[in-house]
Amino acid sequence: TGCGRTDAGVHALRYVADFRTTSGISTEKLPAALNSLLPRDISVLAAFEIPGSFHSTRSCVRKEYIYKIHLGKTRSPFLRDLALHYPYPFNFAEVKKACANFVGTHDFSAMRTLGTPVKSTVRTMYSCDAEISGDMAYIYMCANGFLYNMARAITGTLLEVARNKTSADGIPEILLSRDRARAGATAPAH
């Protein structure tokens, strides 16, 4: 059982999964044994014995997304699958201001794509922030859970703020509207 799912084109730095086994392979040797069988784009970093009550999905209390944006004038082939190339104006101060408006407990209906049915569209965003380093911008989001395409919809909305097409102060109104059409486009999977 995995802790959640990722969209095609999205990479996980740390992904927790649990399983039961009767294998005689020790916990210490299990990552190497699994890595010898897995495709090259997946690596097991560690293995732990856990209580039987642990469930990767239901026991998860926080998830964090990092969206990487390459602000260079020319796209980099080395970042092709890892960062969105965005050669447009980027109003960093407004993006940081807008990020703060996502923090808290909100109905995030305006920031999701209809997909898998959920019991509630209310989520708690523990943190949302932006950082620039060189020609890279990073959007960090940490919440108790994410709706389908929520992180990418928030990023798309922040990109509209970056280009001064949407006001940072308008984010609370967009959230309250619960209207997906009021938010920015879903950013591509990177």
Tell me the CA distances in angstroms from 176 to 102, 118, 150, one per residue in order: 11, 19, 15
Tell me the CA distances in angstroms from 75 to 47, 55, 182, 187, one per residue in order: 38, 41, 29, 17
Cα separation of 97 and 74, whole Å?
27
The token pair at 15 is: 């992904």
Owner of token pair 């990767």: 56
Tell me the CA distances in angstroms from 32 to 28, 36, 76, one per residue in order: 8, 6, 33
Distance of CA 20 to the CA centre of its chain: 28
Which residues lie below 8 Å from residue 138, measured CB to CB, with a gap of 6+?
Answer: 66, 67, 68, 69, 130, 131, 132
Note the pLDDT of residue 13.
80
Query: Tens digits of per-residue pLDDT, 91-117?
Result: 999 999 999 999 999 999 999 988 778
Question: Mean pLDDT of residues grouped by 10 in the chain (190 residues)?
Answer: 74 84 92 94 91 84 92 94 94 98 97 86 97 97 92 97 96 96 92
Note the pLDDT of residue 41.
85
Note the pLDDT of residue 15.
83
pTM of the model: 0.87
Which residues lie below 8 Å from residue 17, measured CB to CB, with a gap of 6+?
Answer: 1, 2, 3, 56
Please give the positions annotated as active site.
Answer: 7
SS3 (DSSP) at 58: coil
Note the pLDDT of residue 56.
83
